[in-house]
Chain A
Amino acid sequence: MNYLIDRRLNGRNKSAVNRERFMRRYKEHIRRSVKGMIAERSITDMAKGGDVKVPAKDISEPGFRYGTGGDWESVHPGNKEFVRGDKIPRPEGGGRGSGGSESGTGESVDDFVFALSREEFLNIFFEDLELPNLMRTAIAEAEDKKLVRAGYVKEGTPANLSVGRTMKTALARRIALGGPLRDELEQAREALEAAARAGQPQEARIAALENQIVELEGRLARLPFLDDVDLRYRHRIAVPRPSARAVMFCLMDVSASMDERKKDLAKRFFTLLYLFLTRKYERVELVFIRHTDEAQEVDEDTFFYDTQSGGTVVYSALELMQQICEARYPKSEWNIYGAQASDGDAFGADPAKSARFLRERVLRLTRYFAYIECPDENQSGNSSLWVEYEEVRGSDQNFAMRKVYQPQEIYPVFRDLFRKEKV
């Protein structure tokens, strides 16, 4: 007795659990790779998968094997010119035999590379930031979808049945299927009439025609009024919900005191805000403004990797941001977000001037403005900029600030923003 079974509909991903075990085991490698990817990638394509490399040595499964050396013989096919006793120079690398496949030691020495999916990548990215779980799903999820009508389909739920369309199809079907019958019926009726006119001699024919008419009428009546094939359902498809546009300003102090560590923190900070905004808005534009004692609008690469030296004037950046807003992003059409990162070194009148400008001009424009300060690890006391900004925090709802030494301290800066916007 033989059985033939269609297994294609059975669950895929039987190996998901094994993959997860694998990832658990090589978490350190993966974390290191992800760190590299964060540094390499631009903020806008942060949210995608990537390749992780694990050295072959770390991943091999050991077993007792023969090493090189000792006596070996191997059999090969396709001899053309060799005779017994011929000498063959050893192949390069001193391997054994000329084929080498018989030894079974052929595990490839290449590094093991595998692809991380978008979800897996974001998971690790968020893990470093210690993002609460609920937040992770909220951000990682694709944007909201809206159902819109998209014509009619033959399958669906009864709730979506389109009665009008169904009746129309049924009518069409009845006309199409009944057409030939009706033609025949008409012919039969005409023939009957003719026969009736002829009278007596046609009696047998009349009976036959009458029978035929009854039968045709029966067949016509048996055409179903409504059939399964007539059913039509309203079709709905999910399309991304169109929503307003947003622009995000990244402001960063690039004076010499901002080292790699601080820039990495800043990048993660900007990325998190960007991920949040992309979830919420259909289109998000990024504007990078860097400043020393003078502010410049630059592209992302220059922003993160080009070093420049000079003093620090925060005011210049805020001023430039305000100018750009007025020129390109009118408040009525754009949702404006600001994110500023600095180590807080500012001198003279600049901090007070900046704080005032922030409160009076910039915060009027933006929906939310977040500031992180990345002080040196051993620094104590507050920077001058911090002191001034603290007053702004006291008076304004849409402003958040935080000192950040570690990546996991970034999220609280946004806590209010996320909480507020989630509702």
Chain B
Amino acid sequence: MSPLPHGPEWEFELLERYDEAISQTAAEFGLDTYPNQIEIINSEQMLDAYASAGLPLGYPHWSYGKAFIRHEQAYRKGYQGLAYEIVINSSPCIAYLMEENSLMMQALVIAHASYGHNSFFKGNYLFKQFTQADAILDYLVFARRYVMECEQRYGVAEVEELLDSSHALMEYGVDRYKRPQPQSAKEKEQRRNEIEEHQRRQFNDLWRTLPQTAPAATAEAATAVFPAEPEENILYFVEKHSPRLAPWQRELVRIVRKLSQYFYPQTQTKVMNEGWATFWHYTLINRLYEKKLVDDAFMLEFLHIHTNVVSQRGFDQEGYHGINPYALGFAMMHDIRRICEDPTEEDAAWFPELAGTEWRKSLDFAMRNFKDESFIAQYLSPRLIRELRLFVVADHVGKAELEVDSIHDEHGYKRVRRMMADQYKRENLLPDIQVARYERDGDRSLTLRSPVFRGRPLEEEQANEVLRHLGRLWGFPVRLEAVDAEGRIDGYREWRP
């Protein structure tokens, strides 16, 4: 292939040539991707995309208007730049590129989004389980249309109220452990046949002759706790069991729940996803340079941007906003490759399953089978902990001062790694709250239960507010119990209609 032309301005033909070159290079490394759809947009359209959480279309709601106004203002006043791209987990995988980008930036962004993120969406287990890339765009179209129809039929205010309440519980609209497993028609039929066969074998006419006992079991069933097992998906429970909601309202709750589920994998794989995409734009562009397709000027511009993206400030430096997921993710992905190709003695002891293996395969395995928490727990190496000079600060209630729990030394590696992984655990950010009881035969009240996690209280005002929203959806009293480690009820709040 002849060298690719380079200049500050991009053109569509140039983008096509770059895309082709990157695509071929990605194929050399065996990246498996959805088909790509690359769209050029301007800054206003990027702001629109921001407001709808990156989705190409959404239903109308004031909170999106608020987000739009906030971003627009920050952008106009220069407090905030805009992202170079937005990529959507769909098939074809849609990547939005800003028109202001230089030619080099467009190439970088294509490698990053259309090959990096794209292959992650296609390969990672969470995305496979929770999202259907080829159906999401159709679902969004349906959701938008449905919401707007409801607005016409039942009034904008009614719909807005319901969406407000559902949004307040959006984070609790995800099945974390139950895998949604679609059964094909064939499987269903097979299952039915098995049941029939089982009944046929068990049939014994003799049972019919036994005297019938009084159905004592029903009284017991009435007092039994429902649901039998706590339900963590509160929106699902509301959708299925709310005594008050009309069918169209259930459908709206379902739409919010489905969107929440669609976004769930992204919240759980931020470090991995960005790390993977950054690793691949770095690797692909470097490969283009090795093949002499791009020149030194291109590379210098590229390295300048890349370095900015993966910079990690120290805790005491200005502009420190916690761990930069791009930096951590990229460093870890790069580290895995290093351990595979060039392991030290320490690496061999810590990662015997990685050292000396084919890096492409090991990295692919890591990408497919982990989320942030498990990925860090598995792969954060002592060497990287030293390089980043990571340390753990403990803030315990009842102690007058913060304490340095562990640092990047022999004693601390395991603990730092554990703590770092915990930082990406859902429980660490969101309180665990589940549906405990629904008094179906009593006052129809709903009781939520929240085990107190490490002595952390709920934020009062917001909790009361969310409870009010839940009450609106439920229509009967709702309660929230805080339960301590021994199972005793520690705190209690209630909302009555």
Of A99-107, A221-229, A363-371, the one with at least 4 CB within 8 A of chain B:
A99-107
Of the residues A18, A60, A70, A104, contact of B429 by C-beta under 8 Å: A104
Whether the Cβ atoms of B317 and A78 lie closer than 8 Å is: yes
B463 contacts the other chain (CB 8 A): yes
Encode contact with B along A86-106: 1 for CB under 8 Å, 0 otherwise: 111110000011110111110
**A-chain residues with CB within 8 Å of residue B62 when the two chains form the complex:** 18, 21-22, 24-25
What 0/1 pattern do residues 289 to 325 of B give for CB contact below 8 A with A?
Answer: 0000000000000000000000011111100111100
User: Contact: B419 with A87, CB < 8 Å?
Assistant: no
Please, how many angstroms separate the alpha-carbon atoms of A155 and B457 in the complex? Answer: 69
Cross-interface CB contact of B466 among A1, A20, A63, A77, cutoff 8 Å: A63
Q: A71-B395, A78-B317 are in contact. Are A19 and B408 (CB under 8 A)?
A: no
Does B222 touch A at the CB level, under 8 Å?
Answer: no
A15→B40 contact, CB < 8 A: no
CB proximity to A under 8 Å, residues B143-179: 156, 160, 164, 167-172
Q: A8, B41: Cβ atoms under 8 Å?
A: yes
Q: Is the CB of A15 within 8 A of B65?
A: yes
Residue A198, interface by CB 8 Å: no
In the complex, A69→B408 CA distance in Å? 27
**Is the pair A21, B392 in contact by a Cβ cutoff of 8 Å?**
no
Q: Any chain A CB within 8 A of the CB of B400?
A: yes
- A5 near B402 (CB under 8 angstroms)? no
**Binary B-proximity of A39-77 (CB < 8 A = 1, otherwise 0):** 000000000000000000001111111111111111111
Residues of chain A with a CB closer than 8 A to B457's CB: 66-70
Q: Name which of B31-39, B271-279, B340-348, B366-374 contacts chain A.
A: B31-39
Q: Given the complex, which residues of B lie within 8 Å of A347, measured CB to CB? A: none
Residues of A within 8 A of B64 (CB): 15, 18, 21
Does B455 lie within 8 Å of A86, measured CB to CB? no
Q: Are A77 and B312 in contact (CB under 8 A)?
A: yes
A5 to B114, alpha carbons, bound, how many Å? 14
Interface presence of B201 (CB below 8 A): no
Within 8 A of B (CB), among A1-33: 1-8, 10, 12-15, 17-25
Q: List residues of chain B with CB within 8 A of the CB of A24.
A: 62, 156
CA distance A78 to B408 in the complex (A): 10
Residues of A within 8 A of B69 (CB): 19, 22, 112, 114
In the assembled complex, B4 has its CB within 8 A of some CB on chain A? no
Which of B45-53, B134-142, B186-194 lines the interface with chain A? B45-53
Which residues does chain A contribute within 8 Å of B27, judged by CB atoms? none
Return the chain B residue nearest A69 by Cβ: B457
Q: A14 with B45: in contact, given A6-B40, A76-B390, A78-B389 (CB under 8 Å)?
A: yes
Interface presence of A305 (CB below 8 A): no
Check if B68 sits within 8 Å of A71, measured CB to CB: no
Measured CB to CB, the closest approach of chain A to B466, in angstroms, equals: 5
B363 at the interface (CB under 8 A from A): no
CB-CB under 8 A from B483, the residues of chain A are none
CA–CA, A89 to B69, complex, Å? 39
Nearest B residue to A76 by beta-carbon distance? B315
* Pair A8/B99 contact, Cβ less than 8 Å: yes
Q: In the complex, what distance in Å separates the CA atom of A85 from the CA atom of B402?
A: 10
Picked from B48, B52, B412, B422, the residue with its CB within 8 Å of the CB of A73 is: B422
In the complex, A82→B389 CA distance in Å? 10
Residue A79 interfacial (CB < 8 Å): yes
**Nearest CB of A to B159, in Å:** 10
Query: What 1/0 mask marks residues of chain B from 48 to 67 whose CB sits below 8 Å from any chain A CB?
Result: 10011000010011111110
Interface residue B388 (Cβ < 8 Å from any Cβ of A) = yes
Set of chain A residues within 8 Å of B160, measured between Cβ atoms: 21, 25
> With contacts A5-B40, A6-B12, A88-B403 known, is A22 near B65, CB below 8 A?
yes
Task: Using CB atoms, name the residue of chain A closest to B322.
Answer: A101
Contact B395 A72 (CB under 8 A): yes
Interface residue A80 (Cβ < 8 Å from any Cβ of B): yes
Which chain B residues numbered 86 to 113 have a C-beta less than 8 Å away from chain A? 92, 96, 99
- Asked if residues B416 and A75 are in contact (CB atoms below 8 Å), the reply is yes
A387 close to chain B: CB less than 8 A: no
Q: Is the CB of B407 within 8 A of A83?
A: yes
Across the interface, do A64 and B430 meet the contact criterion of CB distance under 8 Å?
Answer: yes
Number of A-B contacts (CB under 8 A): 265
Distance (Å) between the CB of A109 and the closest chain B CB? 12
Of B15, B321, B391, B459, the residue contacting A75 (CB under 8 A) is: B391
Cα(A46)–Cα(B392), bound, Å: 57
| Known contacts A64-B463, A88-B393; is-contact A70 B454 (Cβ 8 Å) | yes
- Residue from A22, A23, A62 having most chain B Cβ neighbours under 10 A: A62
With A and B bound together, what is the CA distance between A69 and B399 in angstroms? 11
Given contacts A19-B69, A84-B406, contact A90 B41 (CB under 8 A): no
Taking the closest CB of chain A, its distance from the CB of B386, in whole angstroms, is: 10
A199 to B37, CA, bound (A): 73
**A20:B65 contact, CB within 8 angstroms:** yes
Is B411 an interface position by the 8 A CB rule? yes
Closest Cβ neighbor of B41 among chain A residues: A7
The yes or no answer to A148 lying at the interface (CB within 8 A) is no
Contacts of B224 in A (CB 8 A): none
A78, B463: Cβ atoms under 8 Å? no
Note all chain B residues with C-beta closer than 8 A to A99: 315, 320-322
Q: How far is the CB of A120 from chain B (nearest CB, A)?
A: 12
A64 touches B433 (CB 8 A): yes
Instruction: Name B39's contact: one of A5, A22, A76, A80 (CB within 8 Å).
Output: A5
B404 touches A76 (CB 8 A): no
Bound Cα distance from A72 to B422, whole angstroms? 11
CB proximity of B429 to chain A, nearest CB, Å? 5
The reply to whether A7 and B39 contact each other, CB–CB distance below 8 Å, is yes
Q: Is the CB of A86 within 8 A of B392?
A: no
List residues of chain A with CB within 8 A of the CB of B456. 66-67, 69-72
Measured between beta carbons, the chain A residues less than 8 angstroms from B408 are: 79
Are A73 and B392 CB-contacts (below 8 A) given A4-B15, A99-B322?
yes
Instruction: Select A64's contact among B321, B401, B458, beta carbons within 8 Å.
Output: B458
Q: Answer whether A15 and B322 are a contact pair too, CB < 8 Å, given A84-B407, A88-B403.
A: no
**Pairs across A and B, CB under 8 Å, 15 listed:** A5-B40, A18-B51, A18-B61, A18-B62, A21-B60, A22-B65, A63-B462, A66-B459, A71-B396, A77-B390, A82-B404, A83-B407, A98-B315, A101-B321, A112-B66
Which 6 A-B residue pairings sit nearest by Cβ, starting from the closest? A78-B314, A70-B456, A22-B65, A101-B322, A18-B65, A62-B465
Question: Interface residues, chain B, CB within 8 Å of chain A?
Answer: 12, 15-16, 19, 23, 35-42, 44-45, 47-48, 51-52, 57, 60-66, 68-70, 73, 92, 96, 99, 114, 156, 160, 164, 167-172, 312-317, 320-323, 388-397, 400-409, 411-412, 416, 419-420, 422-423, 428-431, 433, 450, 453-463, 465-466, 469
**Further pairs besides A22-B66, A64-B430, A73-B405: 16, Cβ < 8 Å:** A7-B41, A19-B69, A22-B65, A61-B63, A63-B168, A66-B429, A66-B431, A70-B455, A75-B420, A76-B314, A78-B389, A84-B406, A84-B411, A87-B402, A90-B401, A98-B402
